[in-house]
C-alpha cells in the first residue's frame, strides 16, 4: 500500500518512535514536583522545549506545547484578540486558511468582533497588498498560513508580516504544513504547528507568542505552560515531537529536492495521461511533496475508492467526499474545478516506483469512474428553443450537472446558450471552471424556481 496523504498526517518518524519509547520510562512524573522523578521529567520537558524553539527560531520561553495544532490556533487567536481588545476587535484571515482558523474567526464574529476575509488568486495565493488594504486602526490580529494544506501553495508570509509590523498589528502564522521543511521567514508575532504533520505523534501542538505581543489566555487559569495550555503535559509525546522535528529538519533539504522531482513528474504527466484534468495550486511556490488535480466528470469519492483498491491512499477536496456535499472552501476561493479532486502528498521516503505505479493506474481508475457515471439520459433535456437549451439536473449531485452540460453543448448552434438547472452547491464552482477548461463562455447565474440556472454560451 502506498501512503500518499502525508499532508493529513505524516507517518511516525523512526526517531519519534525511539524517543517516545525511551521517554515513557523517564517522563511519566509531574514536572512541577521537586523530587527526583519530577526533576527528571522537567529536564526532558525543558530539553524538548529548547529543541523545538531552536527549530522554530524563537526563545524557549516563547514556546508552549498544546494538546493539538487546532488547540494552538484557537488559543493563539483567542489570546491575542483578548489581549488587544483595547485596540479593537477586527480580525483578518485569508479565504484559504485551515478550518481551525476559520472556525475561530466565526466564534470571534459571533462574540461581537468583525472579520475581513482576504481573497486569493487562482493559484491559491494572497496578494500582500490585499492584506495592506484590510488593515484598519482597530485591527487586533491578522492570520496567514505559511502554506496551504489542500493545494500546497506557499504564502508570502514575510511580505505580509512586514506590512503588519509597520501597522503595529501582530501576525499569526499557521505553520502546520511547512514547519517540517524549515523555519518560517518574516517578522511574524505568533506561530502554531502540529507534530503529526512532520512525523511526530498526534496530540502535540506548538504555540509561539513573541515577547511584546499582548496576550491574555482565555478559560480557567492554569499554572502549566505559562498559563497558555491547561492540563498535564504529555512529556513522552512532547519529547518525541521535538526529536522528530529536529530529525526531519536534518533531512529536509535533500528530501525536498527529491520530492519536488516526483511531484513535478505527476504535475506534468497527469494531464497528458488523463483527458480533462486541471492541475491546481501555484506551480512554483509550493510545498515539495504536494500536488493536487481535479478531473472533469468524476465523482471524487468513487475515484478515491478506486485508487484505494489499487493500493493508494490519497485525499480529496471534492464536494463529493463531503457530508455537506459542498466544495472545499479552498477550491471554491480559488475558483477552480472541485469535482474529481485528488491531493497527492508524498511522505518523506516515498518511492519513485510507487509514483510510477500511481501514474500507470490513474488513467484506468478515472476511466472506470467515468464509465460508471454514464451518459445523461435524453429526459434531462426539458426544453429546446432555437438558440437555447435547458438541462434539468435538479436533485443530481456532482459531477452529473457538468457531465450533462458537456453532452448537450453541441446541440445548440455557436452563439446559442445552455441553461443548467441545478440545486447542487458545487455547480456554482464547477460549471464556470468547465467553461474555462473547454473554451466556452460562462454567462452567469440566474435565479430559478428551484436551485439556480447556470447559463453557458457555446463559443466553439
Cite the active site residues: 320
- Reduce the DSSP state of residue 288 to 3 states and report it: coil
Which of 96, 103, 99 lies closest to 119 in space, CA to CA? Answer: 96
Cα–Cα distances in angstroms (integers) from residue 441 to residues 28, 144, 295, 327, 330, in the given order: 64, 34, 20, 22, 24
| Residue (of 270, 276, 291, 9) closest to 124 by Cα position | 291
Alpha carbon distance, N-terminus to C-terminus of the chain = 43
The β-bridge relationship of strands 90-94 and 139-145 is parallel
Angle between helices 352-373 and 235-273 (to 10 degrees): 60
What b/e string do you get for 106-122 counting C-beta neighbours within 10 Å, with b at 16 or more?
Answer: eebeeeebbbbbbebee
Using an 8 Å Cβ cutoff, are 189 and 171 in contact?
yes
> Parallel, antiparallel, or unpaired for β 417-422 and 388-392?
parallel
List the grid coordinates of 72: 494552538
CA distance 315 to 40: 42
Amino acid at each position: 500500500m502506498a501512503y500518499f496523504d502525508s499532508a493529513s498526517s505524516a507517518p511516525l518518524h523512526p526517531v519519534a518512535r525511539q524517543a517516545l519509547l525511551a521517554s515513557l520510562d523517564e517522563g511519566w512524573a509531574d514536572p512541577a514536583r521537586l523530587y527526583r522523578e519530577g526533576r527528571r521529567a522537567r529536564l526532558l520537558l525543558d530539553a524538548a522545549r529548547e529543541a523545538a524553539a531552536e527549530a522554530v527560531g524563537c526563545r524557549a520561553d516563547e514556546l508552549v506545547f498544546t494538546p493539538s495544532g487546532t488547540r494552538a490556533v484557537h488559543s493563539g487567536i483567542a489570546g491575542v484578540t483578548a489581549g488587544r481588545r483595547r485596540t479593537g476587535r477586527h480580525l483578518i484571515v485569508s479565504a484559504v486558511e485551515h478550518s481551525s482558523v476559520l472556525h475561530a474567526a466565526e466564534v470571534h464574529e459571533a462574540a461581537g468582533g468583525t472579520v475581513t476575509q482576504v481573497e486569493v488568486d487562482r493559484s491559491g495565493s494572497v496578494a500582500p497588498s490585499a492584506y495592506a488594504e484590510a488593515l484598519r486602526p482597530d485591527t487586533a490580529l491578522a492570520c496567514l498560513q505559511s502554506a496551504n494544506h489542500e493545494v500546497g501553495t506557499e504564502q508570502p508570509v514575510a511580505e505580509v508580516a512586514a506590512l503588519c509590523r509597520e501597522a503595529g498589528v501582530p501576525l499569526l502564522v499557521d505553520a502546520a504544513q511547512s514547519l517540517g521543511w524549515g523555519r518560517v521567514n518574516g517578522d511574524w508575532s505568533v506561530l502554531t504547528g502540529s507534530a503529526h504533520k512532520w512525523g511526530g505523534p498526534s496530540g502535540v501542538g506548538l504555540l509561539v507568542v513573541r515577547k511584546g505581543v499582548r496576550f491574555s489566555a482565555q478559560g480557567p487559569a492554569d499554572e502549566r505552560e505559562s498559563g497558555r495550555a491547561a492540563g498535564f503535559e504529555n512529556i513522552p509525546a512532547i519529547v518525541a515531537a521535538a526529536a522528530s522535528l529536529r530529525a526531519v529538519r536534518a533531512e529536509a533539504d535533500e528530501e525536498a529536492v527529491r520530492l519536488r522531482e516526483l511531484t513535478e513528474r505527476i504535475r506534468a504527466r497527469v494531464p497528458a495521461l488523463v483527458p480533462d484534468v486541471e492541475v491546481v495550486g501555484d506551480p512554483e511556490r509550493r510545498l515539495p511533496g504536494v500536488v493536487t488535480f481535479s478531473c472533469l466528470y468524476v465523482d471524487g469519492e468513487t475515484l478515491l475508492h478506486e485508487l484505494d483498491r489499487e493500493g493508494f491512499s490519497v485525499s480529496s477536496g471534492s464536494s463529493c467526499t463531503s457530508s455537506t456535499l459542498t466544495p472545499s472552501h479552498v477550491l471554491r476561493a480559488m475558483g477552480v474545478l472541485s469535482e474529481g479532486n485528488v491531493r497527492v502528498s508524498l511522505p518523506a521516503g516515498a518511492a519513485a516506483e510507487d509514483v510510477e505505479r500511481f501514474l500507470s493506474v490513474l488513467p484506468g481508475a478515472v476511466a472506470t469512474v467515468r464509465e460508471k457515471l454514464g451518459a445523461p439520459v435524453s429526459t434531462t433535456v426539458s426544453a429546446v428553443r432555437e438558440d437555447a437549451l435547458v438541462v434539468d439536473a435538479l436533485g443530481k449531485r456532482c459531477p452529473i450537472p457538468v457531465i450533462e452540460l458537456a453532452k448537450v453543448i453541441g446541440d445548440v448552434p455557436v452563439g446559442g446558450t445552455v441553461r443548467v438547472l441545478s440545486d447542487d452547491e458545487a455547480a456554482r464552482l464547477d460549471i464556470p471552471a468547465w467553461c474555462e477548461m473547454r473554451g466556452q463562455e460562462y454567462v452567469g447565474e440566474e435565479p430559478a424556481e428551484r436551485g439556480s440556472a447556470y447559463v453557458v454560451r457555446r463559443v466553439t
